[in-house]
Structure 1
């Protein structure tokens, strides 16, 4: 994953290590690998660090995107928007790859694109370049 992201190394802090160790991993090694890949992308691309913390880890039984705002307020979940932007930029607008990177279905990603018009606009810009 470090090579994929172009960084010398990636590490887990102690709390993140404990969270990973305490999970039962019903999907086995493939599931673990996907969770770690997503966490590494969040740490390196969003927080600009090579240390994965518990905030970067989203276990399969947890929601990938934690709802932190109410739709009635008209406010957008900025962390979700940034994560979507990162995935679309990283995959050069390929939605199938972006959904895999995020650990969500393409249908969920399409729903998010309709929810956040600025993400649709970003994808069009990425595809033009």
Structure 2
């Protein structure tokens, strides 16, 4: 009989602690407790859903930025390669283009750029022609 009383006392204390804990966390009204528990689950679900959506948008944005960067980089490399191909086909090794030999900042206003021959000439002739082009003499 003493064992039953002790186990009843321990069980009643445990039940009381559980009730106090739930009333502290959820309130005294059991109906309200059930409603709050379900609403908490709903809010947690919405928060998790919003976080998942934000993560997907962030991943999409990063992929878009990287794709645009790679396309721009390929375009710059293609344009640079085209310029290099054009320059390589226009200049014959061992010759100097007179238009490349003159610096635009050194040419005075009285020199007409159309008078500079666009054909490649020998390097020595180009070096002799540069001072004459700058001073305006032919």
After TM superposition, the score normalised by the length of structure 2 is 0.22
Relative contact order, higher structure (CA 8 A, sep 6+): 1
Q: Which structure features the higher share of helix residues? A: 2
